[in-house]
């Protein structure tokens, strides 16, 4: 009976955790935010048009960049992350090119340029949101660099990383941010960018 | 116990009977189903379910407009971006991705209270009261279901995570969606009863005995393996500990029928319907034909019948069909990869002319079609197409003439080894073709006869793994075959069927007693990448709606010397 008790108790705990996962309180924290250091790997990836892109150059350009990890046939996590991206583009309107939104597939074998393009079309993405694929080895390198490596796409994490020009760190959002949260991060990044511009002007 | 039913050759009689019955039933069902009412005013049951399905799967309202919703409280989304199906999957049984668990939204789960565990009433009575958890969610009603869709509050007034969209839907539209969910996965699929899950495998006419035996032998061994545990499993199902009842009680033995097809492919649909009418099965597993798989694929789509891993190099290529999961795209994949490799080749610009040569047989057509479609998807100019009649002789004069007519063109030659021997003449052509692409599969064992002088600029597609790189998985397969007393006759087929059986049992077990065909494939879609048990591909991968498990194809070159080898010139996947 003792083992039965343990089993039932652990079953109840598991169920309660499951309920917690789905029915988290509305006002509870929905993501964690921290600053991280990222050594962006020097790899060549492929964008939604089949063009080869130098990933490091893309990341360390002259505008803020958001990076997330998704895949074209993903179930739960990617739609919410992508909805966040599209909300940024909608809010910025004509100024959307102030920021570069980048999605990187974690299913590079299935997601070729055509799948990436179809995915972006489905969300009504405008220029300024790019979706990259590559060899499995290169995608693994990128995931490891962002501390986002997972051995299999079904172990996916909802991560978004944000970088502002001139910053020596990235901001990692682990979880699901709302539109306001994302815009706040963008404002912070743009603020950093302005400061960086001023510093260069003084130089 | 394994049940193998071989065709008695009296299928014509059966077919006539089934057709007669079907015709009678069609008349009956036609009027009854169309007139069967739904709770939605002005809509029959069939109409309401069809509209609800469109909302659930495509995110479109009955008027054709996208559904609208908010996620994360303040992000507005449209149903064309993602739909209920995206997270709750096709069966409505929910999904698990990383740390995010999406609960079932199908009728069989929504309209019952959720207890701590699924148990029979008599088992529930055995649970000491101090351990008896209260239900953590009472059964949904139509009203509370409508509320959770709109406002995200469950029957306990708990607020769901804001990952769950709050839909801006109401009135009749909401009634239709609720009605659809109530009926989604509400009854077991055909092919399952209290003791048995029935499977069938299809064998086409003209399949040689070696291949047929290789396929059937491995499948039957898997079925026998599973059923050898029946006594033990049934004892556990009846008398196991109550807290494991949910896991043990759904045990079912397997049966396997062999559906033998005869005659021309245009008669296969009727034969398949006759078999199916006689014995509805839960899924088709394996199967082999020498005439392509299209008629069986279409039969499965019509009947919403899963077909798992048939042996064919001629699958139906579709990005929207659901019910057949293939090992790979077969010859089509080779053509596709050749086009992508060519695009990335250094020193060959996109405007370099390309000539594609093939015969009008099935192999040539599939290879050419893969190459053509890939170029089109990459917005590259189409290749010059040369389709040869079966009697056309391919000799040195043919190649000289072709090269002269298309100077400097890349040649994509989907021809057998015999036709390619005379390619040697191109080595001295001026200008020489910058690249020749061909299929190692089409050339078969004769690939090593490729003339030495052209090997430097000839690249071959190879859609399977190198045996020396799959030592562990080959050993696993060979050991299993040996243990089952099966001689290695066609290793490729046997390795594929070994993999099928290796994955089948856990997938069925994961269904527990939710025996819905769509859920079966939803589970397959959530499988992790597979390396260990597949000896003929470097890996297989899965994902929602992905219907070709092997995604790659190497590009290789033949080395020189007395004993030439194939050497890789690309990654497994080329974009």
- Residue A23 in contact with partner chain B when CB distance is under 8 A: yes
- The residue among B488, B484, B482, B570 whose CA lies nearest residue B536 is B488
Cα torsion B325, B331, B334, B336: sign: negative
Instruction: Decide if A149 is inside a domain.
Output: yes
Question: Is it the case that residue B150 has pLDDT exceeding 60?
Answer: yes
In total, how many domains does chain A have?
1
In chain A, residues 43-62 whose CB comes closer than 8 Å to chain B: 46, 50
Instruction: Decide if A11 is inside a domain.
Output: no
Instruction: Decide if A19 is inside a domain.
Output: no
Give the single-character DSSP code of B228.
Answer: T
Residue A153's CATH number: 3.40.30.10
Contact by Cβ (8 Å): A68, A104: yes
The reply to whether residue A79 touches residue B82, judged by beta carbons under 8 angstroms, is: yes
Instruction: Determine the distance in angstroms separating the CA of A25 from the nearest CA of chain B, rounded to an integer.
Output: 6
Most A-contacting residue of B74, B94, B97 (CB-CB within 10 A), to test interface = B97
The pLDDT score that the predictor gives to residue B117 is 52
Nearest CB partner across the interface for B160, out of A12, A23, A136: A23
User: pLDDT above 70 covers what percent of chain B?
Assistant: 90
The pLDDT score that the predictor gives to residue A18 is 41
Question: Is it the case that residue B474 has pLDDT exceeding 70?
Answer: yes
Q: Strand locations in B241-302, DSSP E?
A: 253-260, 283-285
CA B191 to chain centre: 19
* pLDDT tens column, B547-569: 999 999 999 999 988 889 999 99
Phi, psi angles (nearest 5°) of residue B153: -110, 130
Print the domain residue range for A71: 31-202
Residue of B nearest to A106 (CA): B543
Q: What is the DSSP string of B307-357?
A: EE--B-S-----SS--SEEBS--THHHHHHHHHHHHHH-TT--TTS-EEEE
User: How many angstroms separate the CA atoms of B301 and B280, rounded?
Assistant: 15
Cα torsion B142, B143, B148, B153: sign: negative
Question: Is it the case that residue B119 has pLDDT exceeding 90?
Answer: no
The fold adopted by the segment(s) B196-329+470-525 is Rossmann fold (3.40.50)
- Residue B159 in contact with partner chain A when CB distance is under 8 A: yes
User: How many angstroms separate the CA atoms of B63 and B178, rounded?
Assistant: 17
CA of A35: how far to CAs of A173, B69, B179, in Å? 9, 32, 47
Cα torsion A147, A153, A157, A158: sign: positive
Instruction: Decide if A190 is inside a domain.
Output: yes
Instruction: Determine the distance in angstroms separating the CA of B246 from the nearest CA of chain A, rounded to an integer.
Output: 12
Contact by Cβ (8 Å): B436, B423: yes
- Chain A positions touching B80 (Cβ under 8 A) are 122
Instruction: Decide if A195 is inside a domain.
Output: yes
Instruction: Decide if A21 is inside a domain.
Output: no
- Chain A positions touching B76 (Cβ under 8 A) are 87
Rounded to the nearest integer, the mean pLDDT of chain B is 90
Instruction: Decide if A20 is inside a domain.
Output: no
Confidence of residue B237 (pLDDT cuts 50, 70, 90): confident
Residue of A nearest to B75 (CA): A179
- Residue B392 in contact with partner chain A when CB distance is under 8 A: no
Helix (H) or strand (E) holding B266: none
Tally the residues of chain A.
203
Instruction: Decide if A5 is inside a domain.
Output: no
Domain B331-462+555-568, architecture per CATH: 3-Layer(aba) Sandwich (3.40)
Nearest CB partner across the interface for B136, out of A8, A15, A112: A15
The pLDDT score that the predictor gives to residue A42 is 97
Nearest CB partner across the interface for B74, out of A7, A156, A178: A178
Q: Looking at residues B7-12, what average pLDDT do you find?
A: 37
Nearest CB partner across the interface for B101, out of A7, A18, A84: A18
CB atoms within 10 A of CB B428: 9
All structural domains of chain B with their residue ranges: 39-183, 196-329+470-525, 331-462+555-568
The reply to whether residue B158 touches residue A19, judged by beta carbons under 8 angstroms, is: yes
Tally the residues of chain B.
575
Give the single-character DSSP code of B188.
Answer: P
The pLDDT score that the predictor gives to residue A28 is 56
User: How many angstroms separate the CA atoms of B265 and B261, rounded?
Assistant: 9
In chain B, residues 241-260 whose CB comes closer than 8 Å to chain A: 241-244
Contact by Cβ (8 Å): B556, B465: no
The reply to whether residue B96 touches residue A154, judged by beta carbons under 8 angstroms, is: yes
Residue with tokens 């049951």, as numbered in its chain = B45
In chain B, residues 488-527 whose CB comes closer than 8 Å to chain A: 526-527
ipTM surpasses 0.90: no
State both tokens at B378: 């990459």
Residue with tokens 């080749």, as numbered in its chain = B345
Alpha helix positions (H), B444-515: 471-483, 491-510
In chain A, residues 155-194 whose CB comes closer than 8 Å to chain B: 155-158, 176-180
């Amino acid at each position: 009976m003792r083992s039965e008790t343990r089993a039932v108790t652990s079953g109840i705990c598991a169920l309660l955790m499951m309920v917690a996962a789905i029915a988290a309180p509305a006002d509870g924290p929905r993501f964690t935010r921290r600053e991280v250091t990222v050594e962006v790997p020097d790899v060549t990836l492929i964008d939604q048009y089949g063009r080869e892109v130098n990933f490091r150059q893309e990341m360390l350009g002259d505008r803020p960049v958001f990076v997330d990890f998704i895949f074209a046939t993903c179930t739960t996590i990617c739609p919410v992350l992508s909805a966040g991206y599209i909300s940024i583009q909608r809010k910025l309107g004509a100024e959307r090119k102030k920021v570069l939104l980048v999605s990187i597939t974690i299913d590079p074998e299935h997601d070729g340029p055509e799948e990436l393009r179809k995915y972006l079309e489905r969300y009504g993405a405008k220029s300024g949101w790019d979706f990259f694929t590559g060899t499995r080895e290169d995608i693994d390198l990128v995931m490891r660099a962002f501390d986002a490596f997972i051995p299999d796409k079904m172990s996916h994490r909802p991560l978004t990383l944000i970088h502002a020009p001139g910053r020596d760190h990235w901001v990692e959002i682990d979880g699901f941010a709302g539109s306001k949260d994302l815009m706040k991060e963008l404002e912070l990044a743009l603020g950093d960018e302005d400061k960086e511009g001023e510093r260069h002007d003084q130089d | 116990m394994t049940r193998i039913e071989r065709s008695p050759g009296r299928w014509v009689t059966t077919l006539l009977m089934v057709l007669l019955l079907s015709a009678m039933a069609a008349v009956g069902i036609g009027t009854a189903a169309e007139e069967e009412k739904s709770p939605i005013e002005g809509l029959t049951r069939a109409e309401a379910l069809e509209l609800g399905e469109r909302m659930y799967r495509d995110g479109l309202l009955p008027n054709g407009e996208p559904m609208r919703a908010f996620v994360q409280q303040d992000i507005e989304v449209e149903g064309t971006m993602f739909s209920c199906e995206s997270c709750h999957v096709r069966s409505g049984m929910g999904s698990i991705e990383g740390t995010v668990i999406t609960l079932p939204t199908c009728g069989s789960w929504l309209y019952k209270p959720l207890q701590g565990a699924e148990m029979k009433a008599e088992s529930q009575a055995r649970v000491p009261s101090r351990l008896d958890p209260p239900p953590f969610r009472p059964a949904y009603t139509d009203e509370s279901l409508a509320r959770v869709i709109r406002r995200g509050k469950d029957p306990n007034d708990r607020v769901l995570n804001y990952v769950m969209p709050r839909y801006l839907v109401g009135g009749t539209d909401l009634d239709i969606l609720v009605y659809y969910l109530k009926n989604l996965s509400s009854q077991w699929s055909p092919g399952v009863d209290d003791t048995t899950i029935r499977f069938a495998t299809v064998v086409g006419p003209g399949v040689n005995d070696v291949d047929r035996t290789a396929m059937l032998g491995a499948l039957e061994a898997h079925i026998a393996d599973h059923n050898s545990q029946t006594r033990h499993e049934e004892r556990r199902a009846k008398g196991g500990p109550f807290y494991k009842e949910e896991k043990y009680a759904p045990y079912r033995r397997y049966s396997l029928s062999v559906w033998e097809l005869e005659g021309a492919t245009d008669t296969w649909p009727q034969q398949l319907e006759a078999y199916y009418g006689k014995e509805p099965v839960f899924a088709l597993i394996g199967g082999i034909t020498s005439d392509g798989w299209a008629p069986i694929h279409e039969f499965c789509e019509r009947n919403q019948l899963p077909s798992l891993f048939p042996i064919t190099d001629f699958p139906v290529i579709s990005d929207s069909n659901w019910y057949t999961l293939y090992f790979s795209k077969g010859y089509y994949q080779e053509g596709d990869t050749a086009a992508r490799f060519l695009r990335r080749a250094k020193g060959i610009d996109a405007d370099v002319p390309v000539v594609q040569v093939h015969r009008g047989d099935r192999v040539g057509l599939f290879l050419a079609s893969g190459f053509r479609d890939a170029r089109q998807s990459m917005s590259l100019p189409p290749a010059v197409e040369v389709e040869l009649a079966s009697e056309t002789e391919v000799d040195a004069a043919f190649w000289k003439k072709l090269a002269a007519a298309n100077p400097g063109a890349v040649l994509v030659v989907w021809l057998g080894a015999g036709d390619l021997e005379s390619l040697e003449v191109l080595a001295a052509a001026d200008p020489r073709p910058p690249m020749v692409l061909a299929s190692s599969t089409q050339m078969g064992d004769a690939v090593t006869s490729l003339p030495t002088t052209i090997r430097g600029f000839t690249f071959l597609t190879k859609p399977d793994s190198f045996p020396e790189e799959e030592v562990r998985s080959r050993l696993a397969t060979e050991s299993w075959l040996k243990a089952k007393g099966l001689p290695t006759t066609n290793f490729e087929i046997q390795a594929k069927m070994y993999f099928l059986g290796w994955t089948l049992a856990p997938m069925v077990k994961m269904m527990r007693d939710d025996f819905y065909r769509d859920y079966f494939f939803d589970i397959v879609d959530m499988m992790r990448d597979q390396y260990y048990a597949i000896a003929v591909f470097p890996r297989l991968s899965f994902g929602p709606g992905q219907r070709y498990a092997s995604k790659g194809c190497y590009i290789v070159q033949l080395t020189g010397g007395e004993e030439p080898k194939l050497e890789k010139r690309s990654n497994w996947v080329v974009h």
